[in-house]
Amino acid sequence: MRHLITLGAAALLVTGCALTPDIAPPATADVSVEEAANQSSVIVDTHDGDFASIQQFTTPDGVSVWLVEEPSIPIISFQASWKGGSAVDPEGLEGLASAVAYQMNEGAGDLDALAFQTRMKDLNMSFGCNASRDWTSCSASMLADNAAESMDLIATALSEPRFDEGPFERMRRENLIGVKRRETNARFLASEALEAALYPDHPYASEMTEDSANAMTLEDALAHKDKLMVRDRLLVTAVGAISAEQLAPLIDLAFAGLPETSELPTIPTVDLADPVSEPILVTLPQPQSLVSFAAPGLQRSNPDFFTAYVLNYTLGGGGFESRLMKELRVARGLTYGIGTRLSFGGELATWSGAGQTKNESAGEFLTVVREELVKLVENGVTEQELSDAKAYLTGSYPLGFDSNAKIAGNLMGVRQQDLGVDYFDRRNAAVDAVTLEDVNRVASEYLSPDRFTFVIVGEPGGL
């Protein structure tokens, strides 16, 4: 494949929730969705946007839902998310939010893990949860014909999860192996080194360890589940062949068993340490060096956010159209790919990048990255580069809305970041409003090489 870096620019503006519903497997339905719907009527506020017609409603029991009705394929993508992820793991129990998420489809009610998984396979559905840094999320895919039974199974999972010892110990075995495997993963080592240099004492820098994997108990996980999955922080989105009236009672059923609220620790804003002037070296025996770098970035609330987003396309976010790719790959053949990105959300904002090159070229690679940053700081971008960046970023935006799964993920991203139901419609105008003057000002403010900390993982030469 020619591009290493997927041009997922559309997705970049609504990160936070990259849930890809698993392809789920077959069966027959006993209870019809229509029957389940008979008991309720909901008031639906429809936002007829450019990219999706979004129905907002509150269920009879008070759950706020965003739905995009898409009848053309008989499937439904369903997502739930709660603020609070791995960053709120108790000290010494790092990995506990992930442990909670792991157990959520490992048995519930009368069904042990095998019976639960078998029931999902019989219904041709999937359901699973995960914990990211700031969010705990669950997602499901189901056939429209099986919606009632599928949501019923999800209700059992959410309200009566078993957290049996068998699956818990299996997870522990997997976790211990995962901790060992990380030790030679170049990307993990690079991010660990950056965290240690820039925010060593913040919860965002903590990871599951062998000790924490061994320490956590079933009781810890069950108690933590009731802290993470509560009604008053619940966000729900759905896309597919189902109406608001049909969906509302199924959602009420699914979340009825959750506690109303919980106390979670507040995560402090990350106070980044000064950049490290010399590259941090991490030795790893392999033929290539991974060169990774990060600097302070911008939160979405920053008035310069879209300016930086457009600038990042020219720097390293635009695939072959980016300056780093043109210089390091196209002109010099030094790498299969290099990319840069803005990370935001939660309590940390960075501007970062990474690429790999053969060990003996690591010094040249590093020099070129720095030179390109200096050029942007000193000379800015051209009118043509700015207009190309805007043309791509706005023109490709509809590509992020061509599947139910993508729309469901985008909806959840907007809800998590509280961008407003009209965000999709406003987004391209915000990109178009960026001026050359602003781009060049932001380049000089943010892209000076001495703002960046560099990490090199491998056996680099030529430094």
- By CB under 8 A, the residues from 244 to 303 that bind another protein are 284-288
Q: How far is the CB of 52 from another protein (least distance, A)?
A: 9
Secondary structure class of 38 (helix, strand, coil): coil
Q: How far is the CB of 287 from another protein (least distance, A)?
A: 5
b/e code 11-49 from CB counts within 10 Å (16+ = b):
bbbbbbbebebeebeebeeeeebeebbeebebebeeeeb
CA distance 77 to 22: 10
- By CB under 8 A, the residues from 409 to 448 that bind another protein are none
Contact segment (CB under 8 A) with another protein among 121-129, 132-140, 191-199, 447-455 equals 121-129
Question: Which of 64, 181, 450, 462 contacts another protein by CB under 8 A?
Answer: 181
CA distance 461 to 438: 38
CA distance 279 to 183: 20
The tokens describing 275, both together, are 């950049």
CA distance 190 to 347: 20
Q: How far is the CB of 38 from another protein (least distance, A)?
A: 27
Q: How far is the CB of 335 from another protein (least distance, A)?
A: 5
b/e code 208-223 from CB counts within 10 Å (16+ = b):
beeebbeebebebbee
Q: Does residue number 188 form part of the binding site for another protein (CB under 8 A)? A: no
CA distance 105 to 99: 11
Contact segment (CB under 8 A) with another protein among 111-119, 128-136, 218-226, 444-452 equals 111-119
Secondary structure class of 151 (helix, strand, coil): helix
CA distance 10 to 410: 9
Beta bridge mates, 57: 65
The tokens describing 20, both together, are 């890809």
Q: H-helix or E-strand containing 187?
A: helix 186-198
Q: Does residue number 395 form part of the binding site for another protein (CB under 8 A)? A: yes
- By CB under 8 A, the residues from 206 to 245 that bind another protein are none
Nearer to another protein, 79 or 124 (CB): 124
Per-residue contact flags (x/-) with another protein for residues 123 to 142, judged by CB under 8 A: -x----------------x-
How do 453-458 and 53-58 pair as beta strands? Answer: unpaired
Q: How far is the CB of 353 from another protein (least distance, A)?
A: 16
Q: How far is the CB of 458 from another protein (least distance, A)?
A: 9
Per-residue contact flags (x/-) with another protein for residues 160 to 179, judged by CB under 8 A: ------x--xx--xx-xx--
Q: How far is the CB of 33 from another protein (least distance, A)?
A: 17
Total residues belonging to the chain: 463
* Contacts for 126 with CB less than 8 Å, ≥ 6 apart: 21, 22, 23, 24, 25, 120, 140, 141, 142
Helices (H) and strands (E) in the chain, counts: 17, 12
CA distance 50 to 323: 32
Q: How far is the CB of 126 from another protein (least distance, A)?
A: 9
- By CB under 8 A, the residues from 316 to 345 that bind another protein are 318-321, 326, 329-336
Q: How far is the CB of 284 from another protein (least distance, A)?
A: 7
Nearer to another protein, 23 or 43 (CB): 23
Q: Does residue number 358 form part of the binding site for another protein (CB under 8 A)? A: yes
Beta bridge mates, 69: 240
Contact segment (CB under 8 A) with another protein among 127-135, 181-189, 217-225, 245-253 equals 181-189
The tokens describing 435, both together, are 């001026």
Question: Which of 117, 209, 243, 262 contacts another protein by CB under 8 A?
Answer: 117
Nearer to another protein, 279 or 318 (CB): 318
Question: Which of 4, 11, 218, 264 contacts another protein by CB under 8 A?
Answer: 4
- By CB under 8 A, the residues from 33 to 92 that bind another protein are 51, 70, 72-75, 77
Nearer to another protein, 1 or 43 (CB): 1
